[in-house]
Amino acid sequence: MTRSLNRLALGLVVLMVALLVQLTRVQVLQADELNAQPGNQRTLLTEYSRERGPILVARAPIAESVETDGSLRYLRRYPAGEEFVSATGFYSVVFGATGLERTENAILSGDDPRLFVDRMQQLFAGREVKGGTVTTTLDANAQLAGWQGLRGKKGSVVAIEPATGRILAQVQSPSFDPNRMSSHDSKAVNDYYAELDADPDKPMLNRPIAKTNPPGSTFKVVTAAAALESGRFTPDSVIPGPATYQLPGTDVELPNWTGTECGPNGEVTLAEALAISCNTAFAWLGNELGDDALRDQAEAFGFEEAFETPQRVATSRFPEDPDASQTAQAAIGQFDVRATTLQMAMVAAAVGNRGVTMRPGIVDQTSAPDLTPLETFNPEEFAEAMTPEHAAELTGMMVGVVSSGTGSSARIPGVPVAGKTGTAQTSEDRPSIAWFIAFAPAQNPEVAVAVAVEDAGTNEVSGNQLAGPIARAVMEAVLAG
Amino acid sequence: MSAPVIPGRQVEQARSRQPTRRNVELALLVLVWLVGSLALLLVSMGAADEVVPETWTVIGITGALLLGIHLAVRWLAPYADPLMLPTAAALNLLGIAMIARLDIAEALRAAANDTDAPGSDALDQALWLAVGAIAAALVLLVVRDHRALRRYTYIWGLTGVVLLLLPMVPGLGVTINGANLWIQVGPFTFQPAELAKVVLTIFFASYLVQTREQLALVRHKVLGLGVPRGRDLGPILVVWAVAMLTMAAQTDLGTAVMIFGLFVGMLYVATGRRSWIVLGVLLMVVGGLLAYTLFSHVQVRVKVWLDPFAYANDEGYQIVQSLYGFAFGGVMGAGWGRGYPQLVPFAENDFIFSAIGEELGLVGAFAVVVLFAILIQRALRTAQASRDAFGALLVTGYAIILGLQVFVVFGGVTKLIPHTGLTTPFMSAGGSSLLANWIILALLLRVSDHVRRPDPVIVRPDDATTEVVGRP
C-alpha cells in the first residue's frame, strides 16, 4: 500500500497546488481587471466608505462629505449649490466624477501615493482613513459677483490673477445642483440627469473652459498686440478706417457697427480704432500683418494649446490657412476664430502682466488629511506674448476703451481699468455673444476678467451693456478683498 | 517504531520513552485559541467599531472546549498525532471568526432596514463546535480500538446509503437554497450526507480489507494496465449507481463526486491497481455527461462556470461576487471587517472561503489551504505508519474526503471548476458538517494513537509476527 499511498498523496498535492495557482490568478493576476469591472460594487463601496476630503475656497468647503446611515457611508455635499459647479463638478454613483472631483480624485479619496504613509499611520492608529484636502485658487467674492452677474443669463465668467495665472472666478450659467447629481439614489440621479440633458440651455456644459465661442471684437486686442509687436505700428499710427471695408477677393463689404467712418477722412489712430472698436481699421490691419503674424500672436496668448488647470480646457483656435478675406474677418474675431472664456481672460491678463502669459491654474494647494501641504501652486510662465513696452502701450489703449470708448460700463471710480468690448456673431440667424475682457488696476493689475454672455443682441453696445457690468463687479470684488 | 515483545518491566520503560507529544498539542492549541480570539476581537473592531458582547462568550466557549477536548485526548488517546487537533481547531476558530464577521454585517444591514437583528450564527457555530467536540470525545471513549468497527461492515454500508437517500423520503426531506440535502426533524434541519461520508468510509475500508486481494487480481493487460476481472466490477458499479442516485435525489453533484471519488481512491490504495483509477475516471465522465443531459441545474452550473460575467446578475451572481471578493482582497486582504464578504450570498456556508480571501487576502487563503494540507498529510502519514490495513484505509479515506471536499469547494468558489454545493470542513456554518468532521477527527486521532502507541505487552504471537513481516 505504500506505493499507492504515495501516489495518492501526490494526486492530492496536485489538487492543492491547482488551488493555489488559481488563487494567485484571481487575487493577483486578474485582480485589477476584476476590480475595474463595471458593476463591481466593492470598488464603489470602498470609495464611499472613506471620508472624502473637502474642496475649499479659502477655508470654506464648496464640496465636503457627510456621514449617512446608508450602505454608502459618506454623501457628497456642495454647500453653495450651483455656484461652483464649473470648478467642483459632481461626484455621482451613477455617472462618476467630473471637474476637480475627477481630476483631484487621488488626493480627495486618499489613494494618492503621497498619502500612503499617512494612510498607514491612520490605519495603525485605528483611525478612519480620510482623503486629503484640495484648496482652490478661487476668490469667494469674485465667484459670487460673477454668479450673481450671470443670474438669469446664459454665459460664463473667468477671472485670473495676472501675475500668477491663478483662477479667481470660474462661473457657468445656467448651472445645476451638484447635490442632486451626487445623491445615493440612483433613480433620482438618472432622472435629474435626463432632465438636465434635455434642457436646450445645456446646464451641464462647462461654459468657462469647455465651450469655445467666436471672441468678436475682444480679439482686436490680439490683433493690436500683433501690430505693436511687428514694430511697424504705434498706438498713434494712423491707419485707414472707412465706413466699409471690401473683403479682398470678394465683393462683400465689411461694415463698421456704427455704419460710419471711424475718423475724419476715413482715417484713425490705432488707439482710437481700438477704443471705438473700428472693424474696418482692424480688418485692414489684419491683412497688413498677415495671418501668420496673427496666429503667432494668438498662440503666444495661449491659443492652439490644450491647458489643464488641471481641468481640461478646450483648445482655442485661430484658423489654419485663411485667405485674405478670411484673415480680415479673423482679425476682428470672426470667421473661424474660437476662444474659451478662460482664453480671453488669459489675453487680458497677459497684457496686464507686462506681456507675459501665465499658465492658468485652479488648485492652490493639496494637503494631507492633517493639512500638511503636499503640493502648492507654482506660477509658471507660458510665453512672453509681448515686450513690456508694447504691453504698456496696449494697456494704455485699453484704458482708453473704458475711459472714452465703447467700454464705459466697466469704469470703477478711482481705479484705472483697461478693457475691451466685443459682440460676436455665431451665425447670421443666431443671436450674438456679448463679450467683455478687462483688467484692473491698469498699471499693476490684481485681476483680469473675461465675460461672455450668450443670446445677446446684435449690437456692438451689448458687450458694454450686458458683459461690462459683470466684469466690473468681479473686478470690484477682487479689489475690495 | 514497533517495539519488540519483551518482558513486563522493560515494556514500561519503553512506553515512557515514547513521547506522547500532548504538551506540544496543548501549546499549539493555546496558540490557536489566542490567534482565534484575536481574530474575533479584530473582526468586531473592524466591522462594528466595538467589541460586540457575543465575542467574549464565543472566546470563552471555544477556550473551554479546546481545553476539554485536549484533556479527553490526553486521557483517551495519549499517543495521538499532536498536530491534527490544533489544525482542525485553527480552521474551526477561523471559520467562527468569519461567521461572526458576517453576523455583524447582517446586524448592520438589519439596522439599516429597521428590521430585527438576526441571531448570532457565530454563537450557534460555537455551540455546534461543542456538540462536535463532545461527539469526538464520545467516539474516543467508545471506540477504544478502531478495529472493532470492522465487526459491523455491512451495517455501516447500509446506514451510509440510507443516510444518503434520506432527503428523498417524503415528509422528511426539505429543500433549502435549491438543494435537496436536508432532512427536518422537529425544529432541527440536518444534512445526512455529512454523516454518510463518515460511515461509508468505515464501510469501504472494512469491505476493501476483506476483498482487496481479489480486486487486485488481473487476467490480462491493456496498455500496461492490468484489467480487473469482469465479475469484480460489481462493487464499483454499485457505488457509482448509489452516487448517481444521490445526485438525482439532491439535484447536486457535490456529494456524488465525493462519495464516488472516495471509493475509487480507496480502491486504488487498497489494490495498487491504476486500472481502477482509469475506470473510475471513465465512470465519472459518463456520470457527469449523464447528469449534464438530465439535469438543467448542472447545465446552468457549467454555463455559469464558462462565463460567469454573462450571468452576473442572475445565476452567476454568487460566483461573480465571490471573484470580486477575492480580487478585492488581493495579496494582503482588506483586513478583518474591512471587506464586503456579505455581498456574496451564503458567504457563511459554501462561500466562506471567498470571505477569507477577501478579508485575509491571498496570504490568508494560502494559509487555509496549507492548514488543510497539513491535516491531510498527518492522516496519510498515519496511514503509512499503520500496522493494520483497515486503519490505514480508514484514515486514507478521510484524507481523500478532506482533499476532495476542499478541492471541490475551493475550486468552485475560485472558478477553477464548476461550483457545486459542498461545505468547507470545519469552517462552514452548519451543525451537520461540524459534527461529521469532528467525528472524522476523532477517528483520525484514534488510529494515529494506535499507530504511535508502543505495543502492549501481551499480544497474540501470530498477530505480532504478521505485523513485523508486514512492515515495509
In percent, how much of chain A has pLDDT > 70? 97
Please give, rounded to a whole number of angstroms, the shortest distance from the CA of A221 to a CA of chain B. 56
pLDDT digits (tens, 9 = 90+) for A1-32: 788 999 999 999 999 999 999 999 999 999 98
More confident residue, B176 or B279: B279
Interfacial B residues in 179-238 facing A (CB < 8 Å): none
- Cell 498686440 found at: A225
- Partner-chain residue, chosen from A5, A22, A70, that has the shortest CB–CB distance to B269: A5
> Please, are residues A28 and B330 in contact by the beta-carbon 8 Å criterion?
yes
Q: Which pLDDT band, with edges at 50, 70 and 90, does A336 fall under?
A: confident
Q: Is A41 on the interface with B (CB under 8 A)?
A: yes
Q: Which residues of A touch B404 (CB under 8 A)?
A: 15
Contacts of A33 in chain B (CB under 8 A): 327
Run of H or E residues at B184? strand B179-185
**pLDDT of res. B346:** 82
* CB proximity A1 to B under 8 Å: yes
Give residue B216's pLDDT: 81
For chain B, say whether A14 makes contact (Cβ under 8 Å): no
- DSSP, collapsed to helix, strand or coil, labels residue A238 as strand
Q: Residue A128: its pLDDT value, please?
A: 72
Whether the per-residue pLDDT at B464 is higher than 60: the answer is no
- Across the range A306-333, mean pLDDT stands at 90
For chain A, positions 372-411, list CB contacts with chain B under 8 A.
none
State the pLDDT confidence band at B414, using cuts at 50, 70 and 90.
very high
Residue B461's pLDDT is what?
Answer: 53
**Does residue A38 sit at the B interface (CB-CB below 8 Å)?**
no
- Cα separation values, B123 from B101, B159, B194, B244, B469, Å: 12, 31, 21, 36, 51
CA–CA separation, A230 vs A227, rounded Å? 5
Answer whether A445's CB lies under 8 Å from A164's CB. no
Sequence-separated (6 or more) residues with CB below 8 Å from residue B68: B133, B137
A427 vs B: CB within 8 A: no
Question: Can you point out the beta strands (E) in B186-274?
Answer: 188-190, 218-222, 225-228
Separation of first and last alpha carbons in chain A: 93
Q: What would the mean pLDDT of A435-442 be, rounded to a whole number?
A: 92
Q: Is it the case that residue A50 has pLDDT exceeding 90?
A: no
Evaluate if residue A127 carries a pLDDT over 80: no
pLDDT on residue B470: 46
d(CA A303, CA A295): 8
Rounded Cα distance between A101 and A87, Å, is 9
Task: Give the model's confidence band at B246: pLDDT under 50 very low, under 70 low, under 90 confident, else very high.
Answer: confident
B312–chain A Cβ distance below 8 A for any pair? yes
DSSP at A160: E
Of B109, B362, B415, the CB nearest to A27: B362
Nearest Cα residue in chain A from B472: A2
Q: Inter-chain contact B366–A20, Cβ cutoff 8 Å?
A: yes
For residue A222, the model assigns a pLDDT of: 94
Of the partner residues A15, A27, A39, the one whose CB lies closest to the CB of residue B327: A27
Q: Is B244 on the interface with A (CB under 8 A)?
A: no
Q: What is the pLDDT of residue B13?
A: 44
In chain A, the residue whose alpha carbon lies closest to the alpha carbon of B267 is A4
- Is A12's CB within 8 Å of B403's CB? yes
Task: Please state the rounded mean pLDDT for residues A92-116.
Answer: 86
Residues 6+ apart with CB under 8 A from A310: A100, A103, A104, A361, A362, A363
Nearest CA in chain A to B402: A12
CA distance linking residue A333 with residue A318, whole number of Å = 9
Residue B10 above 50 pLDDT? no
Task: Return the SS3 of A384.
Answer: strand
pLDDT at B457: 57
Calculate mean pLDDT across residues A202-230: 92
Q: Do A31 and B472 lie within an 8 Å CB cutoff?
A: no
CA-based nearest residue in chain A for residue B334: A46
Residue B456 pLDDT level (bands cut at 50, 70, 90): low
What is the pLDDT confidence band of residue A430, given thresholds at 50, 70 and 90?
A: low
CATH number, domain A210-364+378-480? 3.40.710.10
Sign of the torsion formed by the C-alpha atoms of A450, A451, A452 and A456: negative
User: 3-class DSSP state for residue A133?
Assistant: strand
Residue B24: is its pLDDT beyond 60? yes
CA angle B413, B416, B419 (to 5 degrees): 45
**Which of A244-248, A272-276, B189-193 is predicted most confidently?**
A272-276
Least confident of A82-86, A215-219, B1-5, B452-456: B1-5
pLDDT value, residue A41: 80
b/e code A241-258 from CB counts within 10 Å (16+ = b): bbebbebeeeeeebebbe
Average pLDDT, integer, range A128-144: 90
* Interchain pair B416, A22: CB under 8 A: yes
Say whether A413 sits in a helix, a strand or coil.
Answer: coil
pLDDT at B11: 47
Closest CA to A259 of A58, A31, A458: A458
Question: Do A27 and B323 lie within an 8 Å CB cutoff?
Answer: no
Query: B-chain residues within 8 Å CB-CB of A35?
Result: 324, 327-328
Between A185-194, A266-275, B182-191, the lowest mean confidence (pLDDT) is in B182-191
Write out chain A residues lying below 8 Å of B397, CB-based: none
Residue type, B74: R
Q: Is some CB atom of chain A closer than 8 A to the CB atom of B342?
A: no
Residue B362 and residue A28: Cβ atoms within 8 Å? yes
SS3 B345: coil
- Residue A426: pLDDT band (50, 70, 90) is low
Are A1 and B272 an interchain contact pair (Cβ–Cβ within 8 Å)? yes
Is the minimum CB–CB distance between B407 and chain A shorter than 8 Å? yes
CB–CB contact A42 B269 (8 Å) = no
Residues of A in contact with B313 (CB under 8 A): 39
The answer to whether the Cβ–Cβ distance between B383 and A69 falls below 8 Å is no
Cβ-defined contacts of A285-288 (< 8 Å, 24+):
A285/A223, A285/A224, A285/A227, A285/A233, A285/A239, A285/A331, A286/A223, A286/A327, A286/A328, A286/A330, A286/A331, A286/A332, A287/A248, A287/A324, A287/A327, A287/A328, A287/A331, A288/A227, A288/A232
Name the minimum distance, in Å, from the CA of B295 to any CA of chain A.
Answer: 27
Q: Which residue of B has its CA nearest to A42?
A: B340
Q: Burial of B72 by CB count in 10 Å (0-12 exposed, 13-18 middle, 19+ buried)? A: buried
Pairing of strands A55-57, A133-136: parallel
Instruction: Band the pLDDT of B117: cuts 50, 70, 90.
Output: confident
Count of residues in chain A: 481
Residue B8 confidence class, pLDDT cut points 50, 70, 90? very low
Task: Tell me the mean pLDDT in the region B451-468.
Answer: 61
Interchain contact B152–A (C-beta under 8 A): no
Is the CB of residue B360 less than 8 Å away from at least one CB of chain A?
Answer: no
Q: How many CB atoms lie within 10 A of CB A348?
A: 31
**In chain B, what percentage of residues exceed pLDDT 70?**
89
- Break chain A into its structural domains and give their ranges: 210-364+378-480
Q: pTM of the entire structure?
A: 0.69
C-alpha cell at B151: 465487526
pLDDT of residue B62: 94
Question: Between chain A and chain B, how many beta carbons pairs sit less than 8 Å apart?
Answer: 125
The answer, for B377 touching chain A at a CB cutoff of 8 Å, is yes
Nearest to B112 among A2, A31, A70 (CB): A70
pLDDT at B255: 86
Q: For residues B230-234, give the mean pLDDT.
A: 77
Residues of A noted as catalytic: 217
**Burial of residue B232 (number of CB atoms within 10 Å: 0-12, 13-18, 19+):** middle
Mean pLDDT of chain B: 86
Where do we find the cell 492490468?
B226
Where helices occur in A334-436 by DSSP H, the ranges are: 341-352, 388-404
Per the CB < 8 A criterion, the answer to whether A475 and A440 are in contact is yes
Q: How confident is the model at residue B119 (pLDDT cuts 50, 70, 90)?
A: confident
The strand pairing partners of A213, in sequence order, are A339
Contact list, A20 vs chain B (CB under 8 Å): 366, 369
DSSP character string of B119-161: P-HHHHHHHHHHHHHHHHHHHHHH-SSGGGGGGGHHHHHHHHH
Quote the mean pLDDT of chain A. Answer: 89
